[in-house]
Amino acid sequence: MKSETQRLILFLIFGLSAFMLWERWQAYSHPQPVVAPAPSVPGAAPKAPADVPAGAAAGATKSDVPGASAPAASAAAPAAQPITVRTDLLSARIDPVGGVITEVALLHHKTAGDSNEPYLALQKNADRTFIAQAGLLKGLANHHTVFEVLPGARELAAGQDALPVQLAATMPNGDKVVLTYTFHRGSYVIDTDFAITNAGTAPLTPSAYFQFTRDTKHVGATSTMGPSSYVGPVVYDEADKYKKVDFGELDKEAADPERKKTYTARNDNGWVAMVEHYFVTAWLPPDKVSREFYTRKLDGGLYAAGVVVDGPAIAPGATGNIRMPLYVGPQDQDVLKGLAPGLDRVVDYGIFTIIAAPLFALLKFLHGYLGNWGWAIIVMTIMIKGVFYPLNAAAARSMAKMKIVAPKMKALQETYANDKVELQKRMMELYRTEKINPLGGCLPILVQIPVFISLYWVLLSAVELRHAPWIGWIHDLSAPDPLYILPVLYAITAWLQVKLSPTPVTDPMQAKMFQIMPIAFSVMFLFFPSGLVLYWLVNNLLQIAQQWHVNRMLTKEAAAKAEKRR
């Protein structure tokens, strides 16, 4: 019976470690192939716009079909240089060729490992492609059209709340398009607006697409063997909820065009986004407006995710608008929740959301009082340990009793080494005599596993911990300990914990595994965020203190009983 209990404990320990290592090993050993796209030449004639969503809306014309040439504002006018727009939160670069947002630098979030450079949520250069594109279908301007940049301010002035940036294009048939990006103070939302003037003699019903195009690389630097998070497209609607569409799925769809989509394409609610660790870019169509989501593989190792919406009918000589908000910023759950239903789900805790969400709320509450995320983690760990104290105390008492009777257990094993049936009978008698429940240490472990995993995802996913200092050498709780002090301290506490626990004398292999586990976990924690290691270290210290106290108390009780029997 005791052997089964120890096997269960070992299984649970290895299950937790395998859970954390397997998902990282998958990302490490099966990386997506990346092919660098051919660089574009400003002012040159665009190639066939195969990256324009062909026929995504009814009534697509020749210019919407892959292989057709893209409309241009002027065949003779060369493209202007990209323009840079700056607000209090971000700096954005817009290319007049297509009005494409080719770069967004988040001024209050720094690149991994470099506190001086702003984080690039969007970028296009020799190494990376991750951009936001928008355009019109039915023969109007798309993201290959050469726009004219209209005069105006490029930096948000003091006291100014909104900064509009306008680009204009005239189609060969005389239709005019003005693309306006409006940036806002204190916001990562960029309002996107197409104003279409119908120069024809018949009504015009335009459709617009809004998409992200990117490669499979992570924008931020990540540890090779550290934990990873999902990177790729997501589609959300009220019925299907949060749907990940990873790059591997898009590869399969490209190989099999008849393959069923994992999400509902046509809808009147929801949004489409590209998600990566700590950050998200999302197109947010207004509610109750008809839309069509799409995700697909492009040439050159690129992938696209976007949405098509229909605009209002525009009478001859009139102007109509199609608007779409764009969010490019951190995964701040409070902000995201206020922008669109379900947008806060990009902070993905998986099946443990029901536990993880309250834990993060508690962590954020503690930070509001303590002003330091490291101390907030420590206090939250103590509070969780306090909640589970009765269960942990029962488990510690059971394990302490097992340690006390270990010599008797070993004697029985030696005496009845060749009679397993009699050995089991004698062991059960010993348990009854000593009032030991051999499974007493298992239930608390089973109950706490969902909490442990939930905390793992909370501490891994919280953008608030990114570049958040604790004390001394810990300048970033989301990065591994640069001096490896926390993993070493963890190894020491884990070793002490093993020494305080009963040794699985029935199985020498199990005994060796218990000794190896502190080393294995410590090596793994070398690559883990220091905030996670801090949690485990504090948890171990509390567990050691509790186990030592219970062991000491039971030793005194055993001595008192022995004294009475004399």
Quick one: pLDDT at residue 519? 72
Q: Is the pLDDT of residue 82 over 90?
A: yes
Q: Provide CATH code, domain 59-216+292-330.
A: 2.70.98.90
Least confident range of 157-161, 341-345, 505-509: 505-509
Strand partners, 106: 90, 119
Q: How far apart are CA 211 and CA 302, in angstroms?
A: 12
Q: How far apart are CA 554 and CA 560, in angstroms?
A: 10
Quick one: pLDDT at residue 40? 36
Query: Of the ranges 47-51, 380-384, 389-393, 422-426, which is most confident?
Result: 380-384
Residues of the chain with CATH 2.70.98.90: 59-216+292-330
User: Mean per-residue pLDDT for 146-160?
Assistant: 95
The closest of 106, 298, 311 to 192, measured between CA atoms, is 311
Quick one: pLDDT at residue 526? 86
Quick one: pLDDT at residue 405? 73
pLDDT digits (tens, 9 = 90+) for 115-150: 678 999 999 998 899 999 999 998 899 999 999 999
Quick one: pLDDT at residue 69? 38
The closest of 145, 133, 140 to 319, measured between CA atoms, is 140
User: Mean per-residue pLDDT for 162-184?
Assistant: 96
pLDDT digits (tens, 9 = 90+) for 521-537: 778 888 888 998 999 89
The secondary structure of 465-481 as a DSSP string is: GTT---STT---TTS--
Residue 17, both tokens: 């470690």
Confidence of residue 547 (pLDDT cuts 50, 70, 90): confident
Q: Which residues have C-beta within 8 Å of that of residue 317, sequence separation ≥ 6?
A: 197, 198, 199
Q: How many residues comprise the chain?
A: 566
